[in-house]
Amino acid sequence: MLKNSKTLVSHLALAGLLASGFTAAATPAAVVPTLRYTLAMPAPQTHYFEVKMELGGFPADYTDIKIPVWAPGSYLVREFAKNVEGFQARTTGGQALAVEKLNKNTWRVRHPKQANFQVNYKVYAYELTVRTSFIDADHGYLNGTSVFMYPADNKSLSSTVVVEPAAGWNQVSTALKPSTGKFTYKAASYDELADSPFEIGTHKVLEFTANGTPHKVAMYGTYTVDEAKLMADMKKVCEEAHRVVGQNPLDRYLFIVHNLERGGGGLEHLNSTTLEVSRVAYSTEAGYKSFLDLAAHEYFHLWNVKRIRPVALGPFNYDQENYTNMLWVSEGMTSYYAKLINKRAGVISQEEYLGKLGNTITQVENTPGNKVQSAAESSFDAWIRAYRPNENTNNTEISYYSKGDLIGTILDLNIAEATKGEKHLDDVFRLLYDTYYKKANRGFTDKEFQDAVATVAGRRYDDFFRTSVYGTKTLDYAAALGYAGLALNVAPLNPNGTLGASFSNRNGRFLVTGVERDGAAWNGGLNVNDEVLLINGAAPNEESAKQLLGSPVGTELKLQVRRDGLTRDLALKALADADRKYTVQPVPSPTAAQQRVLARWLGPTK
């Protein structure tokens, strides 16, 4: 069949033309655009990556080149364009092209009659977090959104990436598939490139296989750990994570681990993750298990958010916020599953799991913001609140991580109870994976998530979602835990009275660092940043300052504070502390039904 981009000539019409003596002109093949990146770092100690983009087959008079403003998985506009320097464009022959900056993250390159051209720029990278980029004399690390630009109208274009490591560096670790040539890789689209971080340097690479899939662990920095045990435990965690959804979307996976003086946190990617950990964390049992919890969290994101995702989270708009009410599912339920996966893998015991659950309930229920902000609101407002805490955050916000963790617990137990132990939350994620990722190739809406829960449970939970997910009604922990033969115990966290304020001794200056909503300090006019000069007429010391943190109910404290260079006197009376400690324990004689729910929920006792 002969095709032309503007007309389609039928076989009969073509035959007529040939019969009348016309000769058909050959139709030129459509030009397929090409894109090649070269990433160089000739002077790593100056903290610059140098990027060259070679663009071919762009016949328009101009092409707009963009850099994202945020990194998927980290819901904050970070303005990556602020680190870009020396943006230039040239023809393949070296002639300078006109460049106009249209807005904060878009450059227009004018290249009339030049379908092939080149863009060069530098990126200052000196922020070592899991969501940004960094390079120094020791190593380079980058997230694609903060370094690689893309042609605005060709985000789906595949590309080749050539890495030129700094002198003496011999390792490049990325989840991108290798291409022809040393340190050369292929990205199917900008979305894949943006979602495939690089670790470059002399780091050590460990390996294990889980569910037939090769996994690599790029370990940057110094650390002391039994590597064989670590790989064996990570293998168990990964295999247990696979069992949740029961389908393997992988042909390779990469953990990038930064072992630092102080570290904590991770960021998920399509086929990889970056983890930050204290280099001494592995030396204690608690630190080692905390690392495995972090690894389980980011690894489970392979399914929950990277493939099973709210409809707003992909394809991404890299120019602005991508709002969703569902981060309590994407992040909160991932936190829930991280602990569950480690329990099922035998990394933590049932007792440890229940202890962590009690601690999460304690944290959430003692946060005043839990009565102010719903889990859905916390998710939607992540862009303006979650990464910008202030002195009043505790009073007005609740974390979609911890609240979503508990919502996952409640839903899981309710589903198990409704199905007599036959189904649980795993089945919801399996349904979402099949329905929306595999068949519809899209994310799910808020309603579709609720529908999936109802389908698995055989009943609807609309009132629960309305009041406790989109509202601030307290979760019914006792009822849900009772389905599994567990009891919720509640006790005062602090038997003394409290002013409802926190303080810090900074070089002998006692400063107010927090004031709790509706407490004595809140109602009595004590402010954050006030400096306490006198307590009952005497200068504060370590002993007298204890009165600020806990005194018998009814104790009157007269404070003199300095605020804005002026002194003022305040009289406060200690109130009963409303905070409670929550613990979860098995009931003495669980029924057979409760034992079935518990087994379905936590798996066998290990």
Element (H, E) at 254: strand 253-260
- Among 201, 232, 252, identify where a domain stops: 201
Q: Are residues 373 and 283 in the same domain?
A: no
Q: How far is CA 111 from CA 105, 451, 525, in A?
A: 19, 51, 64
Q: Are residues 291 and 393 in the same domain?
A: no
Within-domain flag for 18: no
Residue type (1 letter), 548: L
Q: How confident is the model at residue 176 (pLDDT cuts 50, 70, 90)?
A: very high
pLDDT digits (tens, 9 = 90+) for 64-85: 999 999 999 999 999 999 999 9
CA distance 580 to 361: 10
pLDDT digits (tens, 9 = 90+) for 440-452: 999 999 999 999 9
Q: How confident is the model at residue 546 (pLDDT cuts 50, 70, 90)?
A: confident
CATH number of the domain at 185, please. 2.60.40.3650
Nearest CA to 499 out of 515, 521, 514 is that of: 521
Residues in CB range of 235: below 8 A, 6 or more apart: 208, 209, 210, 215
Answer whether residue 518 shows pLDDT above 50. Answer: yes
CA distance 213 to 426: 22
Q: How confident is the model at residue 543 (pLDDT cuts 50, 70, 90)?
A: confident
Token pair of 214 as six digits: 């090769």
CA distance 74 to 193: 17
Q: Are residues 348 and 447 in the same domain?
A: yes
**Terminal CA-CA length for the chain:** 65
Q: Are residues 192 and 265 in the same domain?
A: no
- Among 183, 201, 219, identify where a domain stops: 201
Within-domain flag for 89: yes
Within-domain flag for 64: yes
Answer whether residue 20 shows pLDDT above 50. Answer: no
CATH number of the domain at 597, please. 1.10.390.10
Please count the helices (runs of H) and the strands (runs of E) in the chain. 17, 29
Residues in CB range of 255: below 8 A, 6 or more apart: 215, 216, 217, 218, 234, 272, 273, 275, 295
304 near 337, Cβ under 8 Å? Answer: yes
Q: Give me the mean pLDDT over the 544-559 stretch.
A: 87
Q: Give me the mean pLDDT over the 435-440 stretch.
A: 98
Answer whether residue 266 shows pLDDT above 90. Answer: yes
As a whole-number percent, the residues of the chain with pLDDT over 70 amount to: 95
Q: What is the pLDDT of residue 547?
A: 78
Q: How confident is the model at residue 542 (pLDDT cuts 50, 70, 90)?
A: confident
Q: Are residues 503 and 540 in the same domain?
A: yes
Q: Are residues 233 and 282 in the same domain?
A: yes
- Among 264, 283, 300, identify where a domain stops: 300
Q: What is the pLDDT of residue 62?
A: 98
Q: How confident is the model at residue 202 (pLDDT cuts 50, 70, 90)?
A: very high
Pairing of strands 253-260, 272-278: parallel
Answer whether residue 456 shows pLDDT above 70. Answer: yes
Q: Are residues 163 and 70 in the same domain?
A: yes
Token pair of 413 as six digits: 């137990």
Q: How confident is the model at residue 4 (pLDDT cuts 50, 70, 90)?
A: very low
Helix (H, G, I), strand (E, B) or coil at 516: coil
Q: What is the pLDDT of residue 29?
A: 58
As a whole-number percent, the residues of the chain with pLDDT over 90 amount to: 90
pLDDT digits (tens, 9 = 90+) for 345-375: 999 999 999 999 999 999 999 999 999 999 9
Q: What is the pLDDT of residue 151?
A: 98
Pairing of strands 177-178, 140-142: unpaired
Token pair of 257 as six digits: 């681990």
Q: Residue 13, class by beta-carbon neighbours within 10 Å (0-12 exposed, 13-18 middle, 19+ buried)?
A: exposed
Within-domain flag for 307: no
Q: Are residues 238 and 342 in the same domain?
A: no
Q: Are residues 178 and 246 in the same domain?
A: no
Within-domain flag for 1: no
pLDDT digits (tens, 9 = 90+) for 304-361: 999 999 999 999 999 999 999 999 999 999 999 999 999 999 999 999 999 999 999 9
Q: How many residues does the chain have?
A: 606
Within-domain flag for 157: yes
CA distance 202 to 218: 10
CATH number of the domain at 533, please. 2.30.42.10
CA distance 316 to 156: 12
Q: Are residues 39 and 155 in the same domain?
A: yes
Q: What is the pLDDT of residue 1?
A: 37
Q: What is the pLDDT of residue 99?
A: 98
Q: What is the pLDDT of residue 91?
A: 97
Nearest CA to 292 out of 236, 330, 212, 352 is that of: 236
Q: Which residue has the higher pLDDT, 209 or 606?
A: 209
Write out the residue range of the structural domain in which residue 392 sits: 327-492+582-602
Residues in CB range of 407: below 8 A, 6 or more apart: 328, 332, 333, 375, 468, 469, 475
Q: Are residues 57 and 197 in the same domain?
A: yes
Buried b (16+ CB within 10 A) or exposed e, 384-394: ebbeeeeeebb
pTM: 0.93
Q: Which residue has the higher pLDDT, 95 or 551?
A: 95
Element (H, E) at 487: strand 486-492
CA atoms within 13 A on the CB side of 84: 26
Number of domains in the chain: 4
Within-domain flag for 8: no
CA distance 74 to 382: 9
Among 190-194, 398-402, 494-498, 532-536, where is mean pLDDT lowest?
494-498
Within-domain flag for 26: no
Sign of the four-CA dihedral 306, 309, 314, 317: negative
Q: Are residues 402 and 512 in the same domain?
A: no
**DSSP letter string, 413-462:** HHHHHHTTTS--HHHHHHHHIIIIIIIS-S-B-HHHHHHHHHHHHTS--H
Residue 543's region, left for phi above 0, alpha for psi from -120 to 50, else beta, is: alpha
294 near 277, Cβ under 8 Å? Answer: yes
